[in-house]
Homo-oligomer: A and B are copies of this chain.
Amino acid sequence: MFDNRYGTGQSTLDGVIRATNVLLAGKTIVVAGYGWCSRGIALRAQGMGGNVIVTEVDPLKALEAVMDGYRVMPMTEAACLGDIFITATGDINVLDERHFGSMKDGALIANSGHFNVEINIPQLAAMSQDAPRKVREFVDQYTLKSGKHINLLGEGRLINLAAAEGHPASVMDMSFANQSLSAMYMAQNAKSLKPDVYTVPEEIDKEVARLKLAAMNVNIDVLTPEQEKYLASWEEGT
C-alpha cells in the first residue's frame, strides 16, 4: 500500500517529466482510476500545479475523487480536455479508439498500471498515418490521419520504470520488509496454516511501520494503562 500510494505518485510524474520535460503546472492531467496508485498520481499531479480529472468505474471511488476536489467524468469527455493522460486501472483499453479521435493535438499519454495493455496501442497505430516518430528518447509521436499528433510515452509500459528509476528505495524497503516478515510468518506457522490466500497479518504491517518510524527518528504516543482500559471497555461494551 505504501509503495503504491506514495511511491507511484512521485515516480510516475518523474517518468513523465524525464520523458518529456513538460511543465505540469497549468496542464489538465487526466488520471484513469482512483485506486491507491492512481490517487497517489492525482495527488502529486495536483501538488505540482496540474488541474486533475479522474475517471472511474466504481461509484464509491468516483465519489471519493469528487469529495477530494477533483473533476470526475467519463473518459470520452475527459479525452477532449486533457493535456496529459495517465492510466492506472489494471484493466485493458482504458484509452481506446473512441478517445484518441477526440484528443487535443499534442496530447501526452502514459501508463502506470500493470503491463502495456491499458492503452490500446495497436488501435492507435491503426489510426495513424505512418509508424510513430521517436521525438525524444521515450516519446513516440503518432500522427493520426486527421493530422493530429498523439505522444505515447515509454511505449505504454510502466512509465516510472521505463523513463525513471521506479520506486525510491525509501519506500520499497517497507514492501520488502513486509514480504520477508510475511515469509518468516509462513515458515513459523506452516503447520497451522491451511492452503489458502491470506492477507498479511496486521501485526506485521504494524511492526514494519514501527521500524520505519524508528529509522526516521519519529516517536509516537503510547496508550496509558488507563486509556487501554477505556478502549477495552468500549470494545467489550459494544
Name A residues whose Cβ lies closer than 8 Å to a Cβ of B.
2, 5-7, 9-10, 14, 17-18, 21-26, 43-44, 46-51, 55-60, 62-63, 66-75, 77, 90-94, 117, 165, 167-171, 205-206, 209-210, 212-213, 216, 218-224, 226-227, 230-231, 234
Contacts and interface: CB of A to CB of B under 8 A. Distances in A.
Nearest to A170: B23
B47 A218 contact: no
A73 B17 contact: no
Given A56-B220, A74-B220, A220-B56, A227 B170 contact: no
A23 B11 CA distance: 9
A216 to B, nearest CB: 7
A213 to B, nearest CB: 6
8 contacts: A23-B167, A44-B48, A59-B210, A60-B209, A62-B218, A66-B216, A73-B219, A91-B230
